[in-house]
Amino acid sequence: MTTHSATAAAVPLAGSGVRGLGPLLRLTLRRYRLRLACWMVPIIALVAVTAPSYATTYPDLASRGPLVESLRDNDATKVLYGHLPRPGTLGQLAQWEMGTYVIVLTSVMMLTLVVAMTRVDEDLGRSETVAAAGLGRWTPTAAVTAVVVAASALLGIGAGGVLALQAIGSTELTLAGATVFGLVVTLTGIGIGATTLVVSELFWDASSTRRAAWAVVATGFAARVGADLTPWHWLRAISWFGLKDAAAPYTTNDPAPLVGAALVAAALFAAAFALHARREFGAGLLAPPPHRPHRLASVSSWGLAWRLGRDSLILWCVPVVGIAALFGGMSHALITLAGSDSATGSMFDDLSSATDPERQYFSFSYVFIAVLPMVYGVQTILGSVADERDGLLDTELATGVRRTAPLMARLLLAAAGSTVLLAVGSAVQAVVTLAVADAEAARWALAYPLAQLPGVVAAVGLAAAAVGSLRRLPALVWAVVAWSGFVAVFADLVKLPDWLRSAALFGHGPHAVSGDVGGWMPWGAAAVLVAIAVGGAAFGLARMTRRDIVVG
């Protein structure tokens, strides 16, 4: 053990028990309060709007009967949402669709939060600095545990509280169902957080912890899918994603799975404490895989950016392909239902300005396919902020590369990677649609996502401009991405004026041109978006030659 490792390992032992827990909790909450708010507010808002929107379109059980049966018979919807229980009350329908999104978002929130509070802080030296104040042996782990439990409980109370208020005066939304749903959200968040905390003790750095935690979460989701598509229903018991179906809010409201989940979460937290006592600071209980040091094949900025980003690009292909396949698989059933059921057709009319069910469906589904490449592109560019903060950019510039070279390399990677992801997603949706529907639907399935490419590269350009201008400004780019997604989904529903729609990066697709697939691109809007991309990139590169490089 090196002198540094020995000193670092001894630091947490300066105190005893959970000494300093209160100050560390206040510091942690102060650092992560904005992140938590940015996650929780949209999730609770999603809970608030789902049931009323269903009640407006399908006011009673009879009106939503065809929709319920169509969704129950579709394997693609089972993969994404699970089984829709009968008879399809507002509560059952809301927890089935909205509940899936809430559980997935809660899981992502907790996974990223725990990795940031544990291995990221440890790798950057923050944990060592804080521990030097004389914290107790168990204080860091106890602080993470307390934040996970408190944040999950707050989110569960918010989600369950909104549904409880909506239950007033409703026969299809019940207080018991709202309570069970809130507990499901709380325990899922706690469970994912506890699982990630255990993983953080096993692996040796933030990158390996993040990959392993995502693998565990993906395996859990796959287990839930297996439970819904096969006779192996017991798979729900080994997945946090199966807790909602097991507790069945608004159906059986079974408390037994909730009790079992609480006990498992407690056991995982206990395991995390035990593992923390056995590992060295800055290391993991599992040894990193052996590797043979070798020189980089390329020392250019592009070669470095590609080497550091290629694994991420490959991983991003997985959710893009999965979501595209799901929406392609659901296309025929929902398009047919929209044409035969007046209530569903009315809902499609509210969500899209297109005139026929095929175009209406794909003018909605493209958002979920195109937003992932946009997020990838923006995240790739904003990664240069982390490189600058951590000193990697300063080190790279010390080799003699041009001041603009690192950002230019990320621009190329972001633009090329997001284009590849969008093309892959569009092609997968088209192929799956062709398998379940017809060639005309498949052409729209391909055209709508591809038409968003100018908006995706415009987001990349805006991110580059933000990086070049001010280090705190990149956060505003995410607001542009969120606004663009909101406009694409809800513009027709909330009757946004045209000038607000034009301020979004999405929505400039085939429906803005003509009724023919040949007119699939609004070239005027595309030219403006490309100009934004080029102008933003040029501005960011120019600013990088004039501003200071700030480390730390």
Six-digit token string for 249: 């809010």
pLDDT at residue 473 is higher than 70:
no
- A 10 A CB-CB count for 442 gives 22
The set of residues, in sequence order, having a beta carbon less than 8 Å from that of 25 and lying 6+ positions away, is: 143, 146, 147
How far apart CA 153 and CA 159 sit, in angstroms, is 10
- A 10 A CB-CB count for 210 gives 20
pLDDT at residue 365 is higher than 90:
no
Q: Where are the beta strands (DSSP E) in 91-131?
A: none
> What is the model's pLDDT at position 537?
93
Alpha helices in 437-544 (DSSP H): 439-450, 453-469, 474-490, 498-501, 523-544
Nearest partner of 452 among 402, 383, 378, 526, judged by Cα: 526
Give tens-digit pLDDT for 135-147.
Answer: 888 899 999 999 9
Q: What phi and psi values does residue 79 have, to the nearest 5 degrees?
A: -60, -45
**pLDDT > 90 fraction of the chain, expressed in percent and rounded:** 40
The set of residues, in sequence order, having a beta carbon less than 8 Å from that of 153 and lying 6+ positions away, is: 186, 190
How far is CA 118 from its chain centroid?
A: 20
Which position has the higher pLDDT, 348 or 171?
171
User: pTM of the prediction?
Assistant: 0.79
pLDDT at residue 470 is higher than 70:
no
Give tens-digit pLDDT for 246-259.
Answer: 999 999 999 999 99
What three-state secondary structure class fits 134?
coil
> What is the model's pLDDT at position 472?
60
pLDDT band at 167 (very low <50, low <70, confident <90, very high): very high
- In eight-state DSSP terms, residue 548 is P
C-alpha count within 13 angstroms, C-beta hemisphere, residue 72: 13
> What is the model's pLDDT at position 351?
67
pLDDT band at 148 (very low <50, low <70, confident <90, very high): very high
Give tens-digit pLDDT for 64-105.
Answer: 888 888 888 777 788 888 888 888 899 999 999 899 989 999
> What is the model's pLDDT at position 494?
65
CB-CB contact of 74 with 329 (8 Å): yes
pLDDT band at 14 (very low <50, low <70, confident <90, very high): very low
Cα separations in angstroms, 508 against 27, 294, 494, 526: 44, 47, 18, 8
pLDDT band at 289 (very low <50, low <70, confident <90, very high): confident
- A 10 A CB-CB count for 342 gives 11
pLDDT band at 353 (very low <50, low <70, confident <90, very high): low
pLDDT at residue 2 is higher than 70:
no
pLDDT at residue 464 is higher than 90:
yes
Least confident of 39-43, 214-218, 266-270, 474-478: 474-478
CB-CB contact of 491 with 507 (8 Å): yes
Least confident of 33-37, 106-110, 299-303: 299-303
pLDDT at residue 296 is higher than 90:
no
Say if residue 154 is exposed, middle or buried (CB neighbours under 10 Å; 0-12, 13-18, 19+).
middle
> What is the model's pLDDT at position 305?
86
Give tens-digit pLDDT for 422-460.
Answer: 999 999 999 999 988 888 889 999 989 999 999 999 999
pLDDT at residue 240 is higher than 90:
yes
Give tens-digit pLDDT for 170-211.
Answer: 888 999 999 999 999 999 999 999 999 999 999 988 888 988
Least confident of 48-57, 191-200, 427-436, 508-517: 508-517
Instruction: Verify cis geometry, omega within 30 degrees of 0, for the bond prior to 42.
Output: no
> What is the model's pLDDT at position 513?
46
> What is the model's pLDDT at position 493?
65
pLDDT at residue 12 is higher than 50:
no
How far apart CA 345 and CA 361 sit, in angstroms, is 10
Q: What phi and psi values does residue 346 have, to the nearest 5 degrees?
A: -65, -40
pLDDT band at 153 (very low <50, low <70, confident <90, very high): very high
Which position has the higher pLDDT, 23 or 127?
23
pLDDT at residue 539 is higher than 90:
yes
Say if residue 449 is exposed, middle or buried (CB neighbours under 10 Å; 0-12, 13-18, 19+).
buried
> What is the model's pLDDT at position 552?
61
Cα angle for residues 137, 143, 144 (degrees, 5° grid): 110
How far apart CA 120 and CA 381 sit, in angstroms, is 20
pLDDT band at 113 (very low <50, low <70, confident <90, very high): very high
Q: Which residue has the tokens 């009757």?
A: 495
The set of residues, in sequence order, having a beta carbon less than 8 Å from that of 339 and lying 6+ positions away, is: 345, 357
pLDDT at residue 1 is higher than 60:
no
CB-CB contact of 311 with 428 (8 Å): no
- Amino acid of residue 347: M
**pLDDT > 70 fraction of the chain, expressed in percent and rounded:** 90
How far is CA 392 from its chain centroid?
A: 27
How far apart CA 222 and CA 85 sit, in angstroms, is 20
Mean pLDDT of the chain: 85
Six-digit token string for 465: 């401009």
